[in-house]
Amino acid sequence: MNSSTSTPSAPERPRLVVLRGDDLPPGHERIDDHPGLGEVVYATADELAAKLPGADALLVWDLFTEALSAAWPKADSLRWVHAATTGVDNLMFPGLVESDVAVTNSRGVFDEHIAEYVLGLVISFAKDFHRTWGYQNERLWKHRETERVAGRRALVVGTGPIGRAIARKLQAVGMEVRASGSHARDGDPDFGSVAESSLAERADGGGRTLHGELPEADYVVVAAPLTESTRGLVDRRFLDLMKPTARLINVARGPIVVQSDLVAALDRDAIAGAALDVFEREPLKAVSPLWGLPGSLVSPHMSGDVIGWREDLLELFLDNLARYLDGRELRNVVDKSRGYVPG
Per-residue pLDDT in tens (0 to 9) along the chain, 343 residues: 355 556 898 888 999 999 999 999 999 999 999 999 999 999 999 999 999 999 999 999 998 899 999 999 999 999 999 999 999 999 999 999 999 999 999 999 999 999 999 999 999 999 999 999 999 999 999 999 999 999 999 999 999 999 999 999 999 999 999 999 988 999 999 999 999 998 877 645 555 899 999 999 999 999 999 999 999 999 999 999 999 999 999 999 999 999 999 999 999 999 999 999 999 999 999 999 999 999 999 999 999 999 999 999 999 999 999 999 999 999 999 999 999 999 8
DSSP-derived letter for residue 294 is T
Residue 336 lies in a domain: no
State the greatest distance between any 2 C-alpha atoms of the chain, in Å, as a whole number: 69
- Give a yes or no: residue 220 inside a domain: yes
Neighbours of 333 (CB within 10 A): 21
Question: Do 138 and 283 belong to one domain?
Answer: yes
Q: What is the pLDDT of residue 343?
A: 81
The DSSP annotation for 115-176 comes to HHHHHHHHHHHHHTHHHHHHHHHTT----------TT-EEEEE--SHHHHHHHHHHHHTT-E
Q: What is the pLDDT of residue 4?
A: 54
Look at residue 28 and tell me if it is in a domain. Answer: yes
Tell me: do 199 and 78 sit in the same domain.
no
pTM of the model: 0.95
Whether the Cβ atoms of residue 52 and residue 340 lie closer than 8 Å to each other: no
Q: Report which of 26, 77, 70 is spatially closest to residue 53, judged by C-alpha positions.
A: 77
Res 261: pLDDT: 98
Say yes or no: 36 and 151 in one domain. Answer: no
Residues 202 and 267 in one domain: yes
232 and 158 in a common domain:
yes
24 belongs to a structural domain: yes
Q: Could you list the active site residues? A: 253, 282, 301
Say how many domains are in the chain: 2
Let me know if residue 91 belongs to a domain. yes
Do both 129 and 237 map to the same domain?
yes
- The answer on 282 and 146 residing in a single domain is yes
Q: Are 282 and 312 in contact (CB under 8 A)?
A: no
User: 14 by DSSP, 3-state: which?
Assistant: coil
- Claim to verify: residue 85 and residue 119 sit in the same structural domain: no
Same domain, 199 and 261: yes
63 domain residue, yes or no: yes
DSSP lists the bridge partners of residue 42 as 18
167 and 84 in a single domain? The answer is no
Query: In this structure, is residue 340 part of a structural domain?
Result: no
* pLDDT of 5: 59
Query: Sheet harboring 102-104: ordered strands across?
Result: 40-43, 16-19, 57-60, 80-83, 102-104
Residues 125 and 208 in one domain: yes
Residue 284, domain extent: 111-298
Assess whether 76 and 165 both reside in one domain.
Answer: no
Q: What is the CATH number of the domain that holds 252?
A: 3.40.50.720
Residue 198, SS3? coil
Q: Is residue 290 part of a domain?
A: yes
